[in-house]
A and B are shown apart, each in its own frame.
Chain A
Amino acid sequence: MSRTVPRLPDATLAPLSRAYAEAMAGRRRQTLLGGVILVLAVLVAALTAEVDLAKFAANFDRLPAYVSRLFVFDTGPATGHSVFSDPAEWYWGLARWGRLLAETLLIAYLGTVVGAMAAFMLSFLAARNVGRWPVARFLAKRFLEFCRTVPEIVFALIFVVAFGLGPLPGVLALSIHTLGALGKLFAEVVENADMGPVEGAAATGASWVSTMRFAVVPQVLSNFASYALLRFEINVRGASVMGFVGAGGIGQDLIEAIRKFYYADVSAILLLIILAVVVIDMATERLRHRLIGLEHRA
């Protein structure tokens, strides 16, 4: 074993280290340039968005003050006491809120199911490997893109005018957005499906519809269900604000409580929503793991 590390003669070393220094300097220049562009972009954006850090710092104590005020009664006999001292008074409207929360979940459920069914049909048209008609594929893809780019609240605003107030416009808005988002994911799943069974089915003379039914659907169904569950979870969150524009659910009561400064009601409703979202989060995650497990076993 040699004890010394072999050292290159200076004549060989000099150009090498110069090249190294140059390469490093180039990289550093690039990073610096990126940093300058980023800082400029931040400055421009901050000016446009009227960011006022002084005001933010001056008013920041309002956030903890606001949050702590949410948990204190401001009307009735218990004024000034913490809401935890009288949970029955805090959740005085539990019957109504419970019904509205159930309606919110129902809106999310219907929106997911209707949207997923429509996405199911369109995804076969939009998938590159099984879609037979290029024009239909192009149209389906553009349509799905449109559906997922326009935010669901915008659809809800328009539908409220067309269909009247209530949960119906909320369901329609969520299903259109779900159609756009799931249609794309479903089409990707179909594109990744094994084509062997498709060829087999086609070889027996099956029509396009029965080829899809017997060769593709059994492969993709568990993945579809998993994505639909994930979407359901997102839609519960979306449905909780549909009431802001009059499209049903608990949002109506929440925005009213916030606007009219019913602090205790705000915290009560918010906690209900968070609880529902977390429970559904955990339940769908369980279900999804089981679905994925099923697929691995099959």
Chain B
Amino acid sequence: MNRPSAIRAEAAARLPELRQRHAAQFAAPLGRRLATGLAIGGPVLLLFFGLWWIDASPARLWHGLGQLGTFAALMVPPDFGTPERLQIYLHALAETVAIAFLGTLTAAILAFPLGFIAARTVVGQRVVHFLSRRFLDTIRGVDTLIWALIWINVVGLGPFAGVLAIMSSDIGSFGKLFSEAIEATERKAGEGVVAAGGGGLHRIRFGLLPQVLPVMLSQVLYYFESNTRSATIIGIVGAGGIGLHLAEQIRTLEWQTVSFLILIILAAVALIDVLSTALRSRIVGNRVAPA
């Protein structure tokens, strides 16, 4: 206890001298200090401003949490009502899975050529690369629910609009992921094919595809699972699936049915997760899932 304070006292006594000797340590540049202050203070200020803006007063939060507690108590036990309702819900769940499956599959098929076009290593044209990337970004910038609303105008209400909505938003993601997978491939295999007398298409078929196909398949399977989750909600805007019933039951405060619906959604997603993981490890071997 004694020694540190002795050192401290000595240091304090010699402070002016130390300050002079190690000027750089004591006088951090004003600009940097300001930048650090801003980098920490700005976000914190924004956080408090935001909390004020959205009216997150403790009283309101407390009241809402109380309400949530009441809802949670009303949710048990989960109940589906009559057997006819059960049949409707199960059919809607099947529809949801079908929407996710078809949407993912068509998106993958359509994004396959796009991925090659957007890959820098296959199409050398910078303009093509830039334009196709921006195109894919724009598609990705629109949320699935918005796509669903747009497609409803084309094919009418119902699950088909949902399939097209999942497909549209996934084309953007797949196109980007596929092109990145293609850019990350080893070029030597393609060079070997060319050296053996193969043409451009041969290079892609025998030098590129065997490398990227497993990666692509694994990404598609991964998206199938996350799309099942998206497909559960597009019913909210009328594009088929279980979301319509879920939104309806929440709005009419039928909490027991709500908890039942959430439970079967969780079960379906878990089942598909297990299935796609099994398939993925069969196809790809034990490669890691893409982040």
A residues with CB within 8 A of B: 41-42, 44-46, 48-52, 55-56, 59-60, 62-63, 66, 103, 106-107, 109-110, 113, 146, 149-151, 153-154, 157-159, 161-164, 166-168, 171, 185, 237-238, 240-241, 244-245, 248, 254-255, 258, 270, 273-274, 277-278, 281
Contacts and interface: CB of A to CB of B under 8 A. Distances in A.
27 contacts: A45-B101, A48-B95, A49-B98, A52-B160, A55-B160, A59-B156, A110-B50, A110-B54, A113-B47, A149-B265, A149-B269, A151-B230, A154-B232, A154-B246, A158-B68, A158-B250, A161-B250, A163-B60, A164-B64, A171-B54, A171-B56, A237-B143, A248-B54, A254-B146, A273-B142, A277-B140, A278-B134
B150 A66 contact: yes
A150 B229 CA distance: 8
B110 to A, nearest CB: 14
Q: Give the dominant DSSP class at A's interface.
A: helix
B153 interface: yes
A118 to B, nearest CB: 14
Contacts of B95: 48-49
Contacts of B177: none
Contacts of A161: 67, 71, 250-251, 253
B26 interface: no
Nearest to B150: A66
A153 B235 CA distance: 11
Contacts of B43: 113
Given A50-B159, A59-B155, A244-B237, A270 B46 contact: no
A42 B265 CA distance: 21
Interface in B248-288: 250-251, 253, 258, 262, 265-266, 269-270
Contacts of B46: 109
B142 A55 contact: no
A55 B138 CA distance: 27
Contacts of B229: 149, 151
Contacts of A60: 154
Given A49-B159, A154-B233, 20 more contacts: A45-B97, A45-B101, A45-B102, A49-B160, A49-B240, A50-B240, A55-B155, A106-B54, A107-B54, A149-B265, A151-B230, A161-B71, A164-B60, A168-B60, A237-B141, A241-B146, A255-B237, A270-B146, A278-B134, A281-B137
Given A45-B98, A157-B250, A161-B67, A274 B149 contact: no
Contacts of B134: 278
Given A62-B153, A241-B143, A244-B145, A166 B54 contact: yes
Given A48-B95, A49-B163, A244-B145, A154 B154 contact: no
B236 A49 contact: no
Interface of B: 43, 46-47, 50-51, 53-56, 60-61, 63-65, 67-68, 71, 91, 94-95, 97-99, 101-102, 105, 134, 137-138, 140-143, 145-146, 149-150, 153-156, 158-160, 162-163, 229-230, 232-233, 236-237, 240, 246-247, 250-251, 253, 258, 262, 265-266, 269-270, 291
Contacts of B56: 168, 171
A255 B143 contact: no
A197 B106 CA distance: 49
A236 to B, nearest CB: 9
The CB with the most chain B CB atoms within 10 A, among A44, A49, A103, is that of A49
A56 B71 contact: no
A248 B55 CA distance: 12
B71 A162 contact: yes
A166 B99 CA distance: 31
Q: Which 7 A-B pairs have the closest CB atoms?
A: A163-B64, A277-B141, A45-B98, A48-B98, A162-B67, A49-B159, A167-B54
A153 B134 CA distance: 28
A185 B291 CA distance: 9
Nearest to A110: B50
A109 B101 CA distance: 32
B75 to A, nearest CB: 10
A64 B251 CA distance: 35
A63 B154 contact: yes
Contacts of A151: 229-230, 232-233
B55 A166 contact: yes
A103 B237 CA distance: 22
